[in-house]
Amino acid sequence: MSTPSIPVDPPSVTETLTPQKTRRILEAALLTAQEPLAIGELRKLFNNELSAAVISKHLEELREKWHDSGIELTSVASGWRFQTKPDLQPYLERLSPQKAPRYSRAVMETLAIIAYHQPVTRGDIEEIRGVSVSSSILKILAARGWIDEVGHRNVPGKPALFATTQHFLDDLNLRSLQELPPLEAMKSLIDPDNKQPELPLVEPDDACH
């Protein structure tokens, strides 16, 4: 089939391109690029017929042109890109309100058990929670980078042992597991006049036993 709109290859640039057109091309390329564009990339727009210095000069002019708009031309590690200005962020976020998703109770409890009891097997978690732990729960936490397998317990079946990761600490703004909320506060939740032997709560500073 004939494709009537196949563009004719543009003529050699240096002879025909005005500075305005050069900037229009640079602008369009930067506005449509998915990634920042390095000067070397941008030179391809003009069959490498323009020097890096010339392109840089145009970029500075573009930056100036966009100065008081809602977006700005910036230079980042891998090149140049347009990006929104921070003051507009609160407005833009109204378009896609990030309904903060929540983890289910099962996920949170599993995470808590791994955090406070690590390393634990799936069986340990099931024993503590009193219900079976679906592998999707562990997958969610592993995909988030919060837990990983650190070994296997030497019992029949060699179950995997899970522990929390450095990334988990980072995400929760903790410097170490010691900074996890102390669990003693939980005692208050427990029936005060219960005659059970004290529940064996884990104490963060109770280093050994």
Partner 1 sequence: MNDNQAIDAIAAQPIARICGEPLLEIPQDLYIPPDALEVFLDTFQGPLDLLLYLIRKHNLNILDIPMAELTQQYMAYVKMMRIDQLELAAEYLLMTALLIEIKSRMLLPVSPKADSGDERDPRAELVRRLLEYEQMKKAAERLNELPQAERDFSVVQVWIGQKAAVALPDVHLDDLRTAWAAILARAKMNRHHQIKRDALSLRAYMSQVLRELQDREQIEFYRLFSATATVAEVVVTFLAILELAKELLLTISQSQDGTIYVHAIDTGRSA
Q: Which of positions 165-184 make contact with partner 1 (CB under 8 A)?
A: 170-174, 176-178, 180-181, 183-184
Q: Interaction with its own copies in 98-157: which residues (CB under 8 A)?
A: 98, 100, 102-105, 108
Per-residue x/- track, 63-82, partner 1 (CB under 8 A)? --------x---------xx
**Size of the residue set binding its own copies (CB under 8 A):** 43
Distances (CA, A) of 41 to 21, 35, 46, 139: 18, 11, 10, 40
Residue 106 interacts with partner 1 (CB under 8 A)? yes
Please report, as residue ranges, which positions from 90 to 109 form the binding site for its own copies (by CB under 8 A).
Answer: 90-95, 98, 100, 102-105, 108
Taking the CA atoms of 84, 88, 91 and 93 in sequence, report the sign of the dihedral they define.
Answer: positive
| 174 exposure class (CB count in 10 Å sphere: 0-12, 13-18, 19+) | middle
- Verify binding: residue 27, its own copies, rule CB under 8 A: yes
Among residues 12, 14, 19, 31, which is the contact residue for its own copies, using CB under 8 A?
Answer: 31
The binder of partner 1 chosen from 51, 84, 134, 136 (CB under 8 A): 84
What are the φ/ψ torsions at residue 163 (nearest 5 degrees)? -145, 165
Structure token pair of residue 209 = 């036993």
Question: Residue 115 in contact with residue 180, Cβ under 8 Å?
Answer: yes
